[in-house]
Structure 1
């Protein structure tokens, strides 16, 4: 038994679940960032050139 009252096998299984949750969160964040930049790029490319120049300075 460990400090948390779990066996070594239970503690390993718990650690695996925690790591899987962290990995899933990282993958979700990466997908969100990718979608944000893709959508921003699409929006910028869809602007007529005159408007883009005015917005840019």
Structure 2
């Protein structure tokens, strides 16, 4: 994948991670907190994987 697409994909995961972190702060339902926490973990993993992939290309 070209570097532009990698950058966009990485920024998308970072944006979604931050969005879900904001949702988590105001969430009162424990069931939803669990789902949001899983989404944060997923996007955090993908965000770091994208950063590692970019470093490997350089």
- Which TM-score bucket, shorter chain as reference? 0.5 to 0.7
Unpaired segments ≥5 residues, structure 2: 1-24
Runs of 4+ in 1 over 6 A off after TM superposition: none
1:9 aligns to 2:31 (yes or no): yes
Greater relative CO, 1 or 2 (CA 8 Å, sep 6+):
2
Tell me the TM-score normalized by structure 2.
0.52
Instruction: Return the offset for 1:5.
Output: 4.1
Unpaired segments ≥5 residues, structure 1: 37-57
Q: Can you list the C-alpha shifts for 1:20-51, whole angstroms capped at 9, x where unaligned?
A: 11000000000000001xxxxxxxxxxxxxxx
Structure whose residues are more often helix by fraction = 2
Moved more, 6-15 or 24-33: 6-15
Instruction: Return the offset for 1:7.
Output: 1.3
Cα RMSD (Å): 1.6
Greater Rg over alpha carbons, structure: 1
